[in-house]
Amino acid sequence: MAISVTTLLDKAQEYLPSDKVALVQEAYEVAEAGHRGQMRKSGTPYIDHPVRVALFLADLQLDSHTLSGALLHDVLEDTKVTEDELERRFGSDVRKLVDGVTKLNKIEDQTSRAGGSQSVDGAHSGLQAESLRKMLVAMAEDVRVILIKLADRLHNMQTIKALRPETQFRIARETLDVYAPLAHRLGISNFGWQLEDLSFRCLYRERYREISKLLATSRQRREQFIQEVCSTLRKEVAEAGLKAEIHGRPKHIYSIHKKMERYAVQGRDFDQIYDLFGFRVVAEDIASCYAILGLVHKLWRPIRGEFDDYVANPRENMYQSLHTAVRGPSNASFEVQIRTHRMHDVAEYGIAAHFRYKEGGHGDHRFDAQMTWLRQILEWQQEQPAAEEFMESVKTDIFPDQVFVYTPKGEVRELPTGATPLDFAYRIHTELGHQCVGAKVNGKLLALDSALQSGDTVEIVASKVRKGPSLDWLNRDLGFLKTANARDKVRSWFRRRARTENIEAGRILLDKELRRMHVGIAEEDVAALMSYQSADDLFAALGSGGVSTQQIAPKLLPVESPLPPDSTVAEPDTSDSVMVAGLPNMLTRLAHCCHPLAGDNIVGFVTRSRGVSVHRESCRSLKSVDESGRLVPVSWGVRDRRYMTKIVVVAWDRVGLLSDITGIVSSEGVNISAVRSSHRKQGTVTELLTLQTSGAAQLSRILSKAEEVKGVISVNRTG
Ligand code: MN
């Protein structure tokens, strides 16, 4: 349905003085005259599009120049209006905004021409990287260009159905990978969530439908529960003499999806009633926030590890709130966010708050912090010419959740969640990273691969002699480095190291791998298998971190013997042969009441604590189930091929050794079918483990991880 410009002008009137509204109206008239007669693919008059884009920005209460720029954002490309005319009638500010958006659109066109044939998951990272790069540059010049671009994308996503399916996929993929994270990063959460849900619906139609169905079926019970919790808390808050707005709200579909995925990996049960919504409390001031937090924890039992204080430690996008999760009535867990009105504003408007007409000069320190972040990315970007590496660093270093750690001097540093002391060292200074031999976290020595927590104080111990990084740091399986930026620095150190040294280091690595994997292949043959000209070339690549032993391993064992049907191997309790529709990682088990066999018609039943149990459709025990909402479609997947392998570990004997080793093996999802320990002279022990691995790459990974276990002398595959 076409929208009238009056809606926009009315909204602008609410917060802009009339001379500014007049400018917006003039922008509309120029855009309308220019686009007259043009139609969108959806069949509506073209002018409808810029008006809606401007309306999104008026919701954020942005200034008149941004609104005018939004109305005019397509005129340079699609109409006879010229840059000179824009400058003359609207001034250089508006002209620059329109110009900026037009330049970004040109990159998008290139992307679409080159990326027309890609699949749902096969993103064109090179082209995405290019468009993101250009966006960041445009953003450094004027963030409002990106705000217009995000609003433009939001409307395009809302009307995406009019486009061809492959175009829909491309645009949705790019939106999910680039635009939505960018919106979140800028703190404009409303744009971010909408962009996520719209692209998720387009890319994963089935799953989207399932989750919306889930939301619909449990609505009634959920609303009762929300009522109950809200009124209990409201009463408590009033009795304490405090004021606050308290709401329960359903989560966004994409965030539910992410949560389900996370739960499936952790083997936790997703609760269809309580995991679908959260509570929000907006309080008068910071003191009330903490007071209300206390009330929440008094009423209901807090869940350990679920409390985050983003008030004391704001996120990098300036987001502040207290987050907690508690066990409430009927032992159900739910989340509560507590914030002030001002924090709520930042959470809703993010960087846009800086340009809000009413805000005037407020919030400048927030804006400066955002700009520091941006300048940092642009600096990194210059060091990273390869599109793929740039994209990788954007994904790992810029968009994810952050932890906040302190230098010994008390300066705060932000790092992505999971970052290690080594990442921290590289973040402080490249040389400090290269020389790093240890780290004291909160005064205690901590392994270089441990994950830092918010609030940690980290002191790096540097080698006195020139040392340089270790190749292990590039091995992702060992988990020394989380940030792509630090990995980059290590890679370039090795690239610059003399070829002769790399060859020597590579030779040692390959020898070790051949020995470990128990294969007798000549080095030249390995080089040929890996398509290198000579053994030295392979060594140099290995020694500089260009290729890893994990990549070589599968070529060393091309022919593997499949796991024989072995009656001594107990039937696994869980089943990897059944997949829940749309949830490939969901834990499933075959029901013991009807013993379904591959090929049977089956259906899944969502249990409270043990994933999904799989029954035959005809199973009687299902007939008595009245909670049909807990039945989910499932299908027989392809059973993974498993290979029997024996490995031998020699180590200094100590308490907990075996459990450390088996812990590593099972963290890979590998079954251990037998363990045999034999003690030897001088305090060493030999453990013989029989494993069912998915192949050589996994085996090689287990071998190198096991080698890192304290006390381990050697790990080898046996013949
Ligand atoms: Mn547009």
Separation of 255 CA from ligand 1 center, angstroms?
Answer: 27
Residues 162 and 273 in one domain: no
DSSP 3-state of 281: strand
Residues 598 and 451 in one domain: no
Give the Cα separation of 316 and 399 in Å (integer): 10
Residues 66 and 141 in one domain: yes
In 396-473, DSSP assigns E strands to: 402-406, 412-416, 436-441, 444-446, 458-462
In a domain, 365, yes or no: no
Residues 281 and 166 in one domain: no
Residues with CB under 5 A from ligand 1 (ion): 74, 152
CB 188 within 8 A of CB 60: yes
309 tagged catalytic? no
Residues 286 and 329 in one domain: yes
Tokens 């989380």, residue located: 482
In a domain, 140, yes or no: yes
Residues 449 and 579 in one domain: no
Separation of 10 CA from ligand 1 center, angstroms?
Answer: 22
Residues 170 and 69 in one domain: yes
Give the list of residues 6+ apart from residue 470 with CB closer than 8 angstroms, or none. Answer: 480
In a domain, 445, yes or no: yes
The domain total for the chain is: 6
Separation of 74 CA from ligand 1 center, angstroms?
Answer: 6
Separation of 70 CA from ligand 1 center, angstroms?
Answer: 8
Tell me the pLDDT tens digit for each residue of 151-199.
999 999 999 988 888 889 888 988 887 888 888 878 888 899 999 999 9
Residues 320 and 275 in one domain: yes
Separation of 203 CA from ligand 1 center, angstroms?
Answer: 22
pLDDT of residue 570: 33
Separation of 154 CA from ligand 1 center, angstroms?
Answer: 10
Give the Cα separation of 21 and 197 in Å (integer): 32
Separation of 57 CA from ligand 1 center, angstroms?
Answer: 13
DSSP string, 664-677: HHHHTTPEEEEEEE
Q: Which domain holds residue 337?
A: 213-352
In a domain, 362, yes or no: no
Separation of 151 CA from ligand 1 center, angstroms?
Answer: 9
CB 87 within 8 A of CB 72: no
End-of-domain residue from the set 494, 513, 534 = 494
End-of-domain residue from the set 155, 171, 203 = 203
Separation of 563 CA from ligand 1 center, angstroms?
Answer: 57
Separation of 53 CA from ligand 1 center, angstroms?
Answer: 8
pLDDT of residue 111: 55
Residue 308 belongs to domain with CATH number: 3.30.460.10
Of 29, 77, 141, 640, the active-site residue reads 77
Residues 631 and 661 in one domain: no
233 HSE (CA, 13 A, CB side) = 30
Please state the separation of Cα 298 from the chain's center in Å: 33
User: Any long-range contacts for 377-382 (C-beta under 8 Å, 24+ apart)?
Assistant: 377/136, 378/136, 378/137, 378/140, 380/485, 381/133, 381/136
Separation of 77 CA from ligand 1 center, angstroms?
Answer: 10
Residues 461 and 511 in one domain: no
Separation of 11 CA from ligand 1 center, angstroms?
Answer: 21
- Can you list the residues of the chain whose pLDDT is less than 50? 115-124, 357-363, 559-574, 638-639
Give the Cα separation of 194 and 153 in Å (integer): 11
Single out the residue of 116, 196, 115 nearest to residue 157, CA to CA: 196
Separation of 88 CA from ligand 1 center, angstroms?
Answer: 23
Residues facing 446 on adjacent strands: 439
Residue 708 belongs to domain with CATH number: 3.30.70.260
Separation of 567 CA from ligand 1 center, angstroms?
Answer: 64
Tell me the pLDDT tens digit for each residue of 641-664.
567 788 889 898 888 888 888 888
Give the Cα separation of 379 and 374 in Å (integer): 9
Q: How far is CA 355 from CA 142, 185, 188, 364, 373, in A?
A: 11, 17, 13, 10, 18
Separation of 187 CA from ligand 1 center, angstroms?
Answer: 22
Structure tokens at 488: 């980059």
Separation of 179 CA from ligand 1 center, angstroms?
Answer: 14
DSSP string, 85-100: HHHHHHHHHHHHHHHH
Residues 338 and 472 in one domain: no
Separation of 107 CA from ligand 1 center, angstroms?
Answer: 13
pLDDT of residue 625: 66
Of 78, 83, 108, 560, the active-site residue reads 78
In a domain, 100, yes or no: yes
Separation of 112 CA from ligand 1 center, angstroms?
Answer: 15
In a domain, 181, yes or no: yes
Give the Cα separation of 321 and 295 in Å (integer): 16
Separation of 367 CA from ligand 1 center, angstroms?
Answer: 27
Separation of 175 CA from ligand 1 center, angstroms?
Answer: 14
Residues 601 and 661 in one domain: no
In a domain, 467, yes or no: yes
In a domain, 565, yes or no: no
Q: What is the pTM of this model?
A: 0.56
pLDDT of residue 122: 39
Q: Residue 278: phi, psi to the nearest 5? A: -145, 165
CB 611 within 8 A of CB 269: yes
Give the Cα separation of 618 and 602 in Å (integer): 8
Separation of 19 CA from ligand 1 center, angstroms?
Answer: 26
End-of-domain residue from the set 559, 588, 608 = 559
CB 692 within 8 A of CB 545: no
CB 404 within 8 A of CB 313: yes
77 tagged catalytic? yes
Separation of 42 CA from ligand 1 center, angstroms?
Answer: 13
Residue 112 belongs to domain with CATH number: 1.10.3210.10
